[in-house]
Structure 1
């Protein structure tokens, strides 16, 4: 015996519209509200039944297919870039760590690193004053 999944009226309407769309059958909300159950003659099965609680029952297998269809429709945007302010904060930490490693090993520190570090610190402090 298969179980049912219970959903609200709007979800039931969306489900049944999706289900019958494969047969190119359009169903208006008014038509949907007139029925207490939907039966698929091809597959000889109940597809959706209205319960006395106001919820609708869908066989679990069909609910799972519908959910998989919905998930396949989700299009995620392409990955963007790290925000500049966050990049700058990471860059400051990286520069500071590199400068300290060089100092710990008694090596000469690049003037470009120090200049960039100072510019980034100044830039972040300036932005912090505007907040």
Structure 2
């Protein structure tokens, strides 16, 4: 038994336009509204059927292909960088944890870590007083 997904009229129009575009068949919205169903003679299957509720039924497999196509068309902006203030807050936590681990195991703590920690504390304090 075939499973269907139900969609609204606008989505059905967009779907059928996409589906038949490969065959270079285009529909206007008015032409689309004249049909109760669409059949693909090549694949011998109903592609889209209008239900009495006003919704349209699409086979799940075709709906999934269409959704994957739509997702592939989305251009995501390139990933940027973390804001400096957030980087500093993460870095200060990392430094503090590393320093505490070294102190807990009676190891020498790098002077560079202490200096960087102190500079970050000062920087964060100054930033918070400005806000």
Measure the CA separation in 2 of the matches of 1:106 and 1:46.
73
TM-score (ref. length: structure 1): 0.80
Specify the alignment match of 1:51 in structure 2: 51
Worse overlay, 23-32 or 58-67: 58-67
What residue ranges of structure 2 are gaps of 5+ in the alignment?
Answer: none
Q: Note the C-alpha offset of 1:23.
A: 0.4
Worse overlay, 4-13 or 113-122: 113-122
Question: Given the superposition, is the C-alpha separation of residues 128 and 108 from structure 1 closer, same or farther in structure 2, using an over 3 Å criterion?
Answer: closer
Measure the CA separation in 2 of the matches of 1:86 and 1:8.
44
Question: Given the superposition, is the C-alpha separation of residues 130 and 103 from structure 1 closer, same or farther in structure 2, using an over 3 Å criterion?
Answer: same
Q: Note the C-alpha offset of 1:81.
A: 2.8
Question: Given the superposition, is the C-alpha separation of residues 27 and 100 from structure 1 closer, same or farther in structure 2, using an over 3 Å criterion?
Answer: same
Q: Secondary structure at the match of 2:108?
A: coil
Q: Note the C-alpha offset of 1:125.
A: 1.5
Specify the alignment match of 2:24 in structure 1: 24
Specify the alignment match of 1:42 in structure 2: 42
Specify the alignment match of 1:97 in structure 2: 97
What residue ranges of structure 1 are gaps of 5+ in the alignment?
Answer: none
Q: Secondary structure at the match of 2:6?
A: strand
Measure the CA separation in 2 of the matches of 1:57 and 1:101.
61
Question: Given the superposition, is the C-alpha separation of residues 31 and 119 from structure 1 closer, same or farther in structure 2, using an over 3 Å criterion?
Answer: same
Worse overlay, 93-102 or 37-46: 93-102
Q: Say how many residue pairs are matched.
A: 130
Specify the alignment match of 2:125 in structure 1: 125
RMSD: 2.3
Residues 26-61 of structure 1: CA distance to partner in whole angstroms, max 9, x if unpaired? 222222122221122222322111111110011223
Contact 2:8–2:55 (CA under 8 A) maintained in structure 1: yes
